[in-house]
Amino acid sequence: WRPFKHTRLYTNAFVIEGNKLLLGFKKRGFGAGLYNGFGGKVEPGETPAQAARRELQEEAGIDAPLEYIGRLFFVVTGVESVFDIRIYVAREYVGVPTESDEMRPGWFALSEDIAPPVPGVDGDLPDIPYDQMWADDIYWLPHLVRGECFVGRADFDEGNVMRRYWFGSVPHC
C-alpha cells in the first residue's frame, strides 16, 4: 500500500427512485467516458454535504436531501494526492434530471427486490453498466443500494485497473 501524503476531498452522489438508479455519463475531465454518481471537489469554505448538493445541482440539474453513506480512498498512479471521496445517496429529489456540460444523466434498473418495476417505464431500463464504470463501483454500490454504510480503498494502476483494494460495510456512518 502506498501511504497517503496528501488527500483531496471529493463528493459523489447517487439518487434512487423506487427501483431506478440515476447515473451520469461523464463527458469530459477525469473519468470521461464512464458512468458515475454526480460530484466533484469540495471547495474551500464548503462542507462535503454542501459540495455534494451543489455538484448534484450543477451536473444533474436536481436538488435532493442527500445522506452520507460511505467514504472511499483512491490512490491513482500519476495523481499526487489521494482521492478522499464522501459518498451520498438520496431516495427522493426535486427537479428534472438535465444534461450538463459535464454529465449526461440516465436511469438504470435496480433489482426487483428494491421495489417492483412500474410496467412500461422501469421495465425498459438498462441494467447498471458496471463495464462502463470505475472498476471499484461493483464492490460498494450494492451496499449503497441496500442503505448500508461502507468504507474502502483501492489503489489503481494506469487506467481503470485496480492493483489492490478493500471494501466493506460498517455499522455506523
Binding mask 100-129 toward ligand 6OG (x if CB under 6 A, else -) reads ------------------------------
- How many Cβ atoms from other residues are within 10 Å of residue 98's Cβ? 12
User: Cell for 60?
Assistant: 444533474
| CB-based contacts of 142, cutoff 8 Å, min separation 6 | none
Q: Which stretch binds ligand 6OG (CB under 6 A): 5-13, 45-53, 91-99, 115-123?
A: 5-13
Site for ligand 6OG in 83-102 (CB under 6 A): 83, 85
Count of alpha carbons within 13 Å of 151, Cβ hemisphere only?
4
Q: Does residue 10 interact with ligand 6OG by CB under 6 A?
A: yes
| CB-based contacts of 47, cutoff 8 Å, min separation 6 | none
The neighbouring-strand residues paired with 8 are 83
Q: How far is the CB of 31 from ligand 6OG (least distance, A)?
A: 5
- Which residue's CB is nearer to ligand 6OG, number 28 or number 116? 28
Contact 33, 78 (CB under 8 A): no
User: Which burial class, exposed, middle or buried, applies to 115 when counting CB atoms under 10 A from its CB (0-12, 13-18, 19+)?
Assistant: middle
Count of alpha carbons within 13 Å of 62, Cβ hemisphere only?
28
Binding ligand 6OG (rule: CB under 6 A), the pick from 4, 8, 31, 168 is 31
Q: Does residue 166 interact with ligand 6OG by CB under 6 A?
A: no
Q: How far is the CB of 77 from ligand 6OG (least distance, A)?
A: 10
Binding ligand 6OG (rule: CB under 6 A), the pick from 29, 65, 95, 147 is 29
| Residues within the interface to ligand 6OG (CB under 6 A) | 10-12, 29-31, 36, 39-41, 74, 76, 83, 85, 134, 136-137, 156
